Amino acid sequence: MASPKRLPYSSAGAGGGGGARRGSGAVPPVVVLVFLFVVAPSIFFVARSGGHVHVASDPRGADGNQETDWQEQLATDNLKSVLSKEVIDAIAASQQETGTLNLDFFRDHPSPSWKTDDLVDHKMNANLVVDDKAKAQNSSADHVIPLTHKAPKDGSDGHQVDTAAKMARRKLREARREKRAIDLVRKDDEALVKLENAAIERSKAVDSAVLGKYSIWRKENENENSDSTVRLMRDQIIMARVYSVLAKSRNKHGIYQELQSRIKESQRAVGEATADADLHHSAPDKIRVMGQVLTKAREELYDCKVISQRLRAMLQSADEQVRSLKKQSTFLSQLAAKTIPNSIHCLSMRLTIDYYLLPLEKRKFPRSENLENPELYHYALFSDNVLAASVVVNSTIMNAKEPEKHVFHLVTDKLNFGAMNMWFLLNPPGKATIHVENVDEFKWLNSSYCPVLRQLESVAMKEYYFKADRPATLSAGSSNLKYRNPKYLSMLNHLRFYLPQIYPKLDKILFLDDDIVVQKDLTGLWDVDLNGMVNGAVFTCGESFHRFDKYLNFSNPHIARNFDPNACGWAYGMNIFDLKQWKNKDITGIYHKWQNMNEDRVLWKLGTLPPGLMTLYKLTHPLDKSWHVLGLGYNPSIDRSEIDNAAVAHYNGNMKPWLELAMTKYRPYWTRYIKYDHPYIRGCNLSE
């Protein structure tokens, strides 16, 4: 029987302990076994761990079995096709340093190319869990994504790990997008809140602006607390408008039509009512029906954010409308303040006609010898308003302890000269003395002497008053109208700077505006020691207002060099002047100097208070505030006790007491000195 043929084998080392055993059919199984048990597991673990190579060091010495070295060499050769050059170089360096192949270093110090975003840490126990470091990094976003993925048995670990990492990154991206969306919504809400707060602040500013608000002149609006039923109906109308807009935008035509119908009914029921007593008798039914419709609309349309935005838009729209109306109101109020009512014009014309019908001998006033007596109490009054001048004179005489010692020097213009004379000839001020003069008869007051007259004759001033910047709308003209007041064209407004020239033989004189009411005896002012000053006046500055920087242009070096911006201002309207000191200090000359420098209006705007402050700077003695209370022509919040205790009440401002726009609660202080049953007053329809 023939024996089987033997295959050759290699002695390249497959054995342990003793020498290599030679035998037939032994070599191929050994190679296969080495590949299966050494190389394949190495490749498997390297691929699965994503580069975390772990080769256990053999505890045996160099005299151990050569089979271990062969296995390691074979595994290293196979790993070269898997690992990068960086890893191979690191392995070689580790071998040189330690003398033994040791990859534990690379488990603790992996290459960046082996990492998968540090999201997961692949454990050798075939379970994938979230890496602790990734948890710590992602905890700030409050998004912890636990991953538990059992390793599949088919050996496709790398593909599964990549899928898990992508899922983790995708979830993190979604979380970041959600967080950004939340931040954007929050920022949008913050912007809306800021916008709302700004609108509310603007509304507060408008509500606090008194000038131009005609509602404060209505008597029925003086009560700040309007009746509750009127407020309820107005609130219902506002909410109905909001819901009607929402209904229209959502195509709810039925409820839209119903809301519109109820709005019209409620508006008709409210009308111009400001109190419950003024409401129509159907108002309760309208409130009930409107409440039912609003309840239905709330159930179908309520959206807190949308309603808030709509109300905010309505608030801003109302704010803009108020601002526009305020400008128009300011323009009209200033225009009204600079005109004379028809009734007063009628009075002046009738008196003028009758005066020039009088014989010359009847046009003279008695007691003319008192006009230059310095021992008496002299008043200077410059006015073109007959009714206003009569109130000043009547109120002064009625409250004087010794009327016979009072002398009134009244100066008016050519147009009203006859009317002033006729009125006081018909209505003499008791035992007091009065004298009326025409400013146009002051021949010394000409353009060569007076800077104001020279400036008024200039082309530039005529352009400023009559041609320049004609406003196209009411609101556009409100800003400059204040400085285009016709009174600045009249010398009556500037005569206060020429008192010694007009009354050269007097030592002291009390200047009075024609918009004041005298409530107490004023003779005590002549006894006030002015301490060498020229002017005695009530100072008007508070903590930060009515100081020099309010009236003068401190950007001009002439102003900045000569005046203190925080210097306290004082009031024109009731001023006691020492004419001796006036002449000694040449006050009129100082006034002329500043007036010449202001020809182009670079030092102050038109008016007499700014040049008065400059001319009498550090020459004004402060009087007690009880002598003079101001603001009755613009300030609705003056305490009544302050007015009652004042010697003089001043209607400075646009709301003069003889105008329809006067504040009703202050008007009685003025009207009590008018005789409305007088034939001339009754004939011109002047009523209280």
pLDDT, residue 207, reads 45
Give residue 132's pLDDT.
Answer: 47
**How far apart are the C-alpha atoms of 383 and 365, rounded to whole Å?**
19
How far, in Å, CA of 420 to CA of 410, rounded?
Answer: 9
Q: How far is CA 512 from the centre of its chain?
A: 39
3-22 per-position pLDDT tens digit: 444 444 444 444 444 444 44
Residue with tokens 């005789």: 675
Q: Among 98, 100, 89, which Cα is nearest to 62's?
A: 100
CA angle 28, 29, 35 (to 5 degrees): 95
**pLDDT at residue 353, rounded to an integer:** 95
Scan for tokens 């204040």, then name that residue: 482
Angle at CA 410, nearest 5°, toward 406 and 411?
160
Q: Residues 491-495: contacts with CB within 8 Å, 24+ apart?
A: 491/439, 491/445, 491/450, 491/452, 491/453, 492/382, 492/383, 492/384, 492/411, 492/412, 492/413, 492/439, 493/382, 493/608, 494/450, 494/452, 494/608, 495/380, 495/382, 495/411, 495/439
Q: Which has more pLDDT, 178 or 649?
A: 649
Q: Which of 115-119, 182-186, 486-490, 596-600 has the highest mean pLDDT?
A: 596-600
Q: What value, to the nearest 5°, has the Cα angle with vertex 286 and ends 282 and 291?
A: 155
Q: CA–CA separation, 305 vs 320, rounded Å?
A: 23
Give whichever of 227-231, 442-446, 514-518 has the largest mean pLDDT. Answer: 514-518
pLDDT in tens, 541-574: 865 567 898 889 999 999 999 999 999 999 999 9
Between 18 and 667, residue with greater pLDDT: 667
The residue-averaged pLDDT of 607-621 equals: 93
- pLDDT number for residue 329: 77
User: Between 66 and 345, whose confidence is greater?
Assistant: 345
Structure confidence at residue 89 (pLDDT): 67
> Which of the four pLDDT bands, split at 50, 70 and 90, describes residue 466?
low
Quick one: pLDDT band at residue 45, thresholds 50, 70, 90?
Answer: low
Which pTM value belongs to this model? Answer: 0.58
Distance CA 412, CA 467 (A): 27
Query: Which is more confident, 192 or 677?
Result: 677
Separation CA 577–CA 535 (nearest Å): 5
Residue whose C-alpha is closest to residue 373's, from 500, 511, 508, 502: 508
Task: State mean pLDDT over 78-82.
Answer: 59
Q: What is the pLDDT of residue 223?
A: 45
Q: Which residues contact 671 (CB under 8 A, 6 or more apart)?
A: 657, 688
Mean pLDDT along residues 160-186: 80
Nearest of 202, 206, 134, 212 to residue 172 by alpha carbon: 134
Q: Which domains does the chain have, with CATH numbers?
A: 228-337 (no CATH), 342-683 (3.90.550.10)
pLDDT of 438 > 80? The answer is: yes
- 479 secondary structure, DSSP code: H
pLDDT of the residue at 305: 82
Give the residue, 260 or 687, on which the prediction is more confident. 260
